[in-house]
Chains A and B, each alone.
Chain A
């Protein structure tokens, strides 16, 4: 079993003031939420017609053209236990219907009222049936685009949780994959998917290297790491769309703020917990609570819909048989530089060697004069910064980010980290590339909306055969 860093730290005398810090943190968080209420929602609230309360349920949705622009003036009919009613989308493509009786409602979209040239991507899902409960909102989605036959992966692999968050895979950046997801295995298609897999794996690596470093130095499986990724994407969206900055400065600011949240988390949450001697399993459950709280904070302020960091259609270039967007090429360069930087840091600098020493044996490194806490803090800053960068680039690659874009990747990150060997930073890199390739290439044989599942199956198989991972040391695990 890998020794965990908590052991030498648990020896320091606990101070009575520490729980107070935690309470202050929570109080600050709540104040922040309440202060935010006044500003963020007012911009979006104006057109929301239906309000769910104890006697009312809502059905709503947003209709966007295949290019992502709102489809105004589309008519929908809702029929069910509470009677029939119609709705028309507003200038922002939104529609909503209030019903006063719970039950199953059939929502029909009048295709004649769609903007010119638009068709339903899933014609067989019109009409569709939604379950409506009083006091809550149900969502009925009608994606537009080229019609897709039912079994050929109509959902485009979106792995969103409740409601309507569009997940990675539904954006325009993915057009190349979607277009090539017909039947038949051709050399061009294999080449395209391999390149897509390498790109996706590299982006995934940005997130999972941080996860692995944090696990290596502290022993903590951080379930809130996906939210660090979403944070990067959402901050970039705030920078470009709400503040109006160009992409590059807002990306840099997003990464800087992301790294700062790593510092804040370690200072105000994880270090006090380590001092209290809170066990690793308890800390892991804390990360779960944190993940839940942060992801709903994102939804609270930014809604469940897609957030496009850049709105113009990206330029694409052909390299041999492979189509890539210019943005993706630049992203790859940035990611390669960042990962190279991490490798140099770990292998070539004193601080990096100290980090690896802490991961190896915290007690011994503390005894040889390394400040274990400072190293852990450094790892948190580095990990959160890399995750934010990953979030920005993933948001650009998939065309949009959302509150769930990091959460959808979390399990792939865990798969990559486990595959590479829990806690081995370079293993996480190798594992991410493998997972990226598996995810993309598996769509040659299995439907595209199950490709994330294939990566998770790999995770379980690896644990069965080689629990220490590809690059992990063959020590006793457990």
Chain B
């Protein structure tokens, strides 16, 4: 067994673009759930809308900044549509509606009716929309190696995606850190703990919840862009399971913390890679096919989510006293 290779690949997951994208999506969800107590079960819908918004407007010839704005605007409108009927209702209604709405986005995206726009179930190919992002890179083309990690500088799964991705994650962390300390963030936490108390202080709870939903959703849309930059936009890979992975990451790292989502994402992807690679090396393919190893990895994720929420709902970094999970 080649432990050096396995460890190299596991360490590569620490700073992979996918890890950054999931960390960012979990930061968005943290604003919903960790700060405000909103049960958004449709984060993948925000991500998919962001990905479509970015890819379709880039293909239509819009510049990079406009395409990113389109993605954020799509997520904002989506959040408003979801929030208006549900934010006044009990928490599990928001959960059901968001998961249904994310599914609607996926079903419409994969429908053959809009093949010209979305490419139906085969999706949009990466090369169609990566151009403007790669051209924005100030670095010369080619490949560059840092120790054992060698990637293209600009193309596809590149250092450029990693650099931008983690810079965005760092900015989002800073934003959450500032928000938690701000009066606005204190109102959100108040809503999470006791909505009626905040209402009796004269705050417009509905409006604050809506702002939280929009902000977290917009961050989710940017995460969606990051997620599709090294690959293609495929609606079926951004379905319900993606939302559940984001939840697992958030609960693993610790909701209502600044670095919880980042730590959660790194641990999630690194442990998953470690388990799968070790199984591939040690278990002969006659016993376990490669798809089965993939599936076994996801089974572990499901069981881990159950155990986490039962035994350590505050995650690694969280404070159990702060996060008493209950619905509104």
Residues of A within 8 A of B (CB): 1, 19, 22, 26, 29-30, 33, 37-38, 41-42, 45, 48, 51-54, 58, 102, 104, 125, 128-131, 133, 135-137, 150-155, 159-163, 221, 273, 276, 278-282, 284-286, 288-294, 296-297, 299-300, 303-304, 407, 411, 414-415, 418, 447, 449-450, 452-453, 456-457, 459-461, 463-464, 467, 477-478
Please list the residues of chain B having a beta carbon within 8 angstroms of any beta carbon in chain A.
5, 9, 39, 41, 82, 84-86, 88-93, 95-97, 99-101, 103-104, 107-108, 110-113, 115, 120-123, 125-127, 157, 231-232, 234, 236-237, 239-241, 244, 247-248, 251, 276-277, 280, 285-292, 294-296, 298-299, 301-307, 309-311, 313, 324-328
| A293 contacts B93, C-beta separation under 8 Å | no
Name the one of B82, B93, B104, B241 contacting A478, with C-beta atoms under 8 angstroms: B93
Given contacts A459-B97, A477-B89, contact A296 B236 (CB under 8 A): no
Provide the residues of chain B in CB contact with A51, threshold 8 Å: 285, 289-290
Q: Is the CB of B290 within 8 A of A457?
A: no
Whether the pair B95, A221 counts as a contact (CB closer than 8 A) is yes
Knowing A155-B110, A447-B112, the reply to whether A456 touches B89 (Cβ < 8 A) is no
Residues in B whose Cβ lies below 8 Å from that of A288: 41, 244, 247, 305
Q: State in angstroms the CA–CA spacing of A130 and B291 once bound together.
A: 17
The reply to whether B237 and A162 form a contact with Cβ atoms under 8 Å apart is: yes
Query: Do A478 and B309 form a contact, CB below 8 Å, given A131-B231, A162-B237, A293-B303?
Result: no
Find the residue from A1, A102, A463 having the highest chain B CB count within 10 A: A463
A477–B90 contact, CB under 8 A? yes
Q: A296-B295, A300-B296 are in contact. Are A285 and B97 (CB under 8 A)?
A: no
Q: Which of B103, B104, B112 has the most CB of A within 10 A?
A: B112
Q: Known contacts being A160-B236, A478-B90, is A291 close to B290, with CB within 8 Å?
A: no
Knowing that A53-B290, A278-B310 touch, tell me 6 more A-B residue pairs with CB under 8 angstroms.
A221-B92, A279-B327, A282-B313, A289-B304, A407-B240, A453-B103
The docked-state distance in angstroms from the alpha carbon of A327 to that of B190 is 57
A463 touches B85 (CB 8 A): yes
**CA separation between A467 and B104, bound complex, in Å?**
20
Say which residue of B111, B122, B303 sits within 8 Å of A289 (CB atoms): B303
The answer to whether A104 touches B125 (Cβ under 8 A) is yes
Find out whether the CB atom of A467 lies under 8 angstroms from the CB atom of B89. Answer: yes
Least CB distance from B132 to A in Å reads 19
- Min distance, Cβ B4 to any Cβ of chain A, angstroms: 12
CB neighbours (8 Å) of A282 from chain B are 309-310, 313, 325
Instruction: List the A side residues contacting B97 at CB < 8 Å.
Output: 459-460, 463
Enumerate the 4 nearest inter-chain pairs by beta-carbon distance, A residue then B residue, closest first: A293-B302, A289-B305, A292-B302, A478-B90
Of the candidates A45, A407, A411, the one having the most CB atoms from chain B within 10 angstroms of its own CB is A411
Once A162-B236, A282-B310, A290-B302 are accepted as A-B contacts, the answer to whether A54 and B288 lie under 8 Å apart by CB is no
A471 to B85, CA, bound (A): 19
Q: Which of B101, B108, B326 contacts A281 (CB 8 A)?
A: B326
Cβ distance A299 to chain B, nearest Cβ, rounded Å: 5
A159 to B99, CA, bound (A): 14
Q: Min CB distance, A288 to chain B, in Å? A: 6
Q: Is A279 in contact with B325, judged by CB distance below 8 angstroms?
A: yes
In the complex, are the beta carbons of A411 and B303 less than 8 A apart? no
Residues on A with beta carbons closer than 8 Å to the beta carbon of B103: 159, 411, 452-453, 456
| Cα A160 to Cα B78 with chains together (Å) | 23
Q: Residue B90 contacts which of A1, A33, A151, A153 (CB distance < 8 angstroms)? A: A1
CB pair B328 A48 closer than 8 Å: no
| Interchain Cβ contacts under 8 Å between A and B, 17 examples | A22-B307, A38-B287, A41-B289, A48-B289, A51-B290, A58-B290, A102-B157, A130-B122, A155-B111, A159-B107, A289-B305, A293-B301, A411-B100, A418-B93, A449-B113, A456-B101, A463-B97
Contacts known (A279-B325, A281-B325, A289-B309); A457 close to B104, Cβ less than 8 A: yes
With a 10 A CB-CB cut-off, give which of A37, A104, A125, A456 has the most chain B CB atoms. A456
A288-B247, A450-B107, A477-B89 known; A154-B112 Cβ under 8 A: yes
With A414-B96, A457-B104, A477-B89 in contact, is A281–B306 under 8 Å at CB? Answer: no
Query: In the complex, what residues of B have CB within 8 A of residue A276's CB?
Result: 310
With A449-B111, A463-B85 as contacts: A161 and B241 at CB distance below 8 Å: yes
What residues of A have a CB within 8 angstroms of the CB of B39 in the complex?
Answer: 281, 284
Pick the contact of B309: A1, A286, A303, A450 (CB < 8 A). A286
Partner of A463 from B41, B89, B99, B126 at Cβ < 8 Å: B89
A467 contacts which of B93, B276, B311, B313 (Cβ < 8 Å)? B93
Return chain A residues, CB-CB under 8 Å to B241: 161-162, 292
Question: Residue on B with the closest CB to A159?
Answer: B107
Residues of B within 8 A of A54 (CB): 5, 9, 277, 280
Cβ contacts under 8 Å, B231 to chain A = 131, 133
Chain B residues with CB under 8 Å of A280's CB are 92, 326-327
Q: A460–B99 Cα gap in the complex (Å)?
A: 11
Question: For the complex, what is the distance from the CA of A270 to the CA of B99, rounded to whole Å?
Answer: 23
In the complex, the answer to whether A41 meets B292 with C-beta atoms within 8 Å is: yes
Are A459 and B96 in contact, CB atoms less than 8 angstroms apart? yes
Cβ of A37 and Cβ of B306 under 8 Å apart?
Answer: no
> How many angstroms from the CA of A102 to the CA of B126 in the assembled complex?
12
Chain B residue at minimum C-beta to C-beta distance from A58:
B290
Given A37-B287, A414-B96: A150 touches B326 (CB 8 Å cut-off): no
User: Which residue of A151, A453, A456, A464 contacts B112 across the interface (Cβ within 8 Å)?
Assistant: A151
How far apart sit A453 and B101, CA to CA, in the bound complex (Å)?
A: 9
| Alpha-carbon separation in the docked complex, A26 to B300 (Å) | 11
- Which residues of chain B are near A130, meaning CB under 8 Å? 122
Q: Shortest distance in angstroms between A180's beta carbon and chain B's nearest beta carbon?
A: 18
Could you tell me if A453 and B96 are in contact, using CB atoms closer than 8 angstroms? Answer: no
What's the least CB distance linking B32 to chain A, in Å?
13
Judging by beta carbons under 8 Å apart, are B100 and A284 in contact?
no
**B311: A residues at CB distance < 8 A:** 19
Q: Which residues of A contact B310 (CB under 8 A)?
A: 22, 273, 276, 278, 282, 286
User: Which residues of the other chain, B, contact A22 by a CB distance below 8 angstroms?
Assistant: 307, 310
Check B306–A286 contact: CB distance below 8 A. Answer: yes
Whether B108 lies near A453 (C-beta < 8 A) is yes
- Across the interface, do A284 and B307 meet the contact criterion of CB distance under 8 Å? no
B172: min CB distance to chain A, Å: 23
Contact B93 A477 (CB under 8 A): yes
CB of A292 within 8 A of CB of B328, answer: no
Q: Shortest distance in angstroms between B78's beta carbon and chain A's nearest beta carbon?
A: 12
- A428 shortest CB reach to chain B, Å: 14
Closest Cβ of chain A to B257, distance in Å, is 18
| Closest Cβ–Cβ distance, residue B111 to chain A (whole Å) | 5
